[in-house]
Amino acid sequence: MKEQLLNMKEKASQALTSAKTLQDLEDIRISLLGKKGELTAILRGMGGLSAEERPVIGQLANEVRSFIEDKIEEQKKALVASERAEQLKSETLDVTMAGKKPVIGKTHPLTTVLEEVKDIFIGMGFSIVEGPEVEYDYYNFEALNIPADHPARDTQDTFYINDNVVLRSQTSSVQVRVMENQKPPIRVIAPGRVYRSDAVDATHSPVFHQIEGLVVDKGITMGDLKGTLEVFMKTLYGNDAVLRFRPHHFPFTEPSAEVDVSCFVCGGKGCRVCKGEGFIELLGAGMVHPKVLERCGIDTSVYSGFAFGLGLERIVMRRLNIDDMRHLYDNDLRFLNQF
Ligand code: PHE
């Protein structure tokens, strides 16, 4: 029996040293020390031993048991440690490795300049409003003093959805929406897309952007319009910018004007960019027509107002010295990265 026990100790020692996983260890423990294990089987033979042998073998059996238990414990620690080392190795992060360079985008020139324009008007106490791009004929034309048979409709080459609904051809539609919903004093700008059935060329696109301005209050005059636009242009283009008002006609303003700014290249002498004019046309403007005010329920014996409509593309082209509007829509990064 002594032999058997020592044999078992030897075998166990080898088996445990070569165990690879915690499950291996557990299997070995059960097969050696479990209720139906090898040790129990050996000890069943104790009955046949003499009274002197019995305590000796008993003691040896206990030694073998605690040897095996210690060995399992020791092996368990070793396995856990090496598992952890393995895990740490696989999760190592080499902070000296070259990284991927993030590509940082930037805003489109139209957005950049629109933000500048908004900031200037916000500085003068204006709020920013928006209106729908798919608009009722009523807001785009009718309420602006342009009835169905008015020749001004022809010049706008409108996209019709049906008889009553159009893609708005001007942001002036927002003037009416604001005046219907807000009592004076009103001081707003309304930037947004407008649509006209124009062929694409260097200065035309079927989709472009306008910025509408509207001020309605007591005692508003053409002087307020001129002063406001003057401050706006000088802030945007510098103190040397000179404005020129030319008489014009819009059905929804009276009097009306087209407003030009002195050429930023030649300063007014005349050059290739301004086609020898010395000035560049930037917007339409005027005093809001009394009929438009009254249709919106505004008392014209108390209130008056001015309105203007700027072409954003033009402003951007003048501001950033771009000679072809198509560049603004091509999304060519070689172009866009210059700004
Ligand atoms: N809506 C006009 C246009 O698109 C511009 C304009 C706006 C004129 C406001 C006067 C007042 O041509």
Percent of the chain with pLDDT over 70: 100
Interatomic CA distance for residues 339 and 334, integer angstroms: 10
Q: Whose C-alpha lies nearest to ligand 1, atom 12?
A: 284
Q: Which of 95-109, 145-159, 244-258 has the lowest mean pLDDT?
A: 145-159
Look at residue 203 in the predicted model and tell me its pLDDT.
78
- Asked whether the whole model's pTM tops 0.85, one would answer no
In this predicted structure, the answer to whether residue 127 has a pLDDT above a threshold of 80 is yes
Residues 6+ apart with CB under 8 A from 41: none
For residue 97 the two structure tokens come to: 């490795």
Instruction: List pLDDT tens digits, range 211-260.
Output: 999 999 999 999 999 999 999 999 998 898 899 999 999 999 999 999 99
Interatomic CA distance for residues 64 and 155, integer angstroms: 107
Look at residue 156 in the predicted model and tell me its pLDDT.
74
Interatomic CA distance for residues 139 and 190, integer angstroms: 14
For residue 288, the ligand 1 atom closest to its alpha carbon is: 11
Q: What is the mean pLDDT of residues 147-164?
A: 85
Look at residue 150 in the predicted model and tell me its pLDDT.
85
Interatomic CA distance for residues 13 and 25, integer angstroms: 11
Interatomic CA distance for residues 128 and 190, integer angstroms: 6
Instruction: List pLDDT tens digits, range 178-223.
Output: 999 999 999 999 999 999 998 888 878 899 999 999 999 999 999 9
For residue 214, the ligand 1 atom closest to its alpha carbon is: 9
Task: Name the phi and psi angles at 132, rounded to 5.
Answer: -70, 145
For residue 244 the two structure tokens come to: 């020129």
For residue 81 the two structure tokens come to: 């440690």
Residues 204 and 160: beta-carbon distance below 8 Å: no
Pocket test for ligand 1, best of 139, 150, 166, 170 (most atoms within 8 A of CB): 170
- The residue that leads in pLDDT, 99 or 294, is 294
What's the mean pLDDT when you consider all of the chain? 91
Measure 130 CA to ligand 1 centroid, in angstroms. Answer: 16
CA 218 to chain centre: 41
DSSP 8-state assignment for residue 169: S
Bridge-based pairing of strands 207-218 and 243-250 is: unpaired
Measure 56 CA to ligand 1 centroid, in angstroms. Answer: 115
Instruction: Using the CB atoms, write b or e for 62-93: b if 16+ within 10 Å.
Output: eebbeebeebbeebbeebeeeeeeeeeeeeee
For residue 13 the two structure tokens come to: 């020692």
- The residue that leads in pLDDT, 95 or 140, is 140
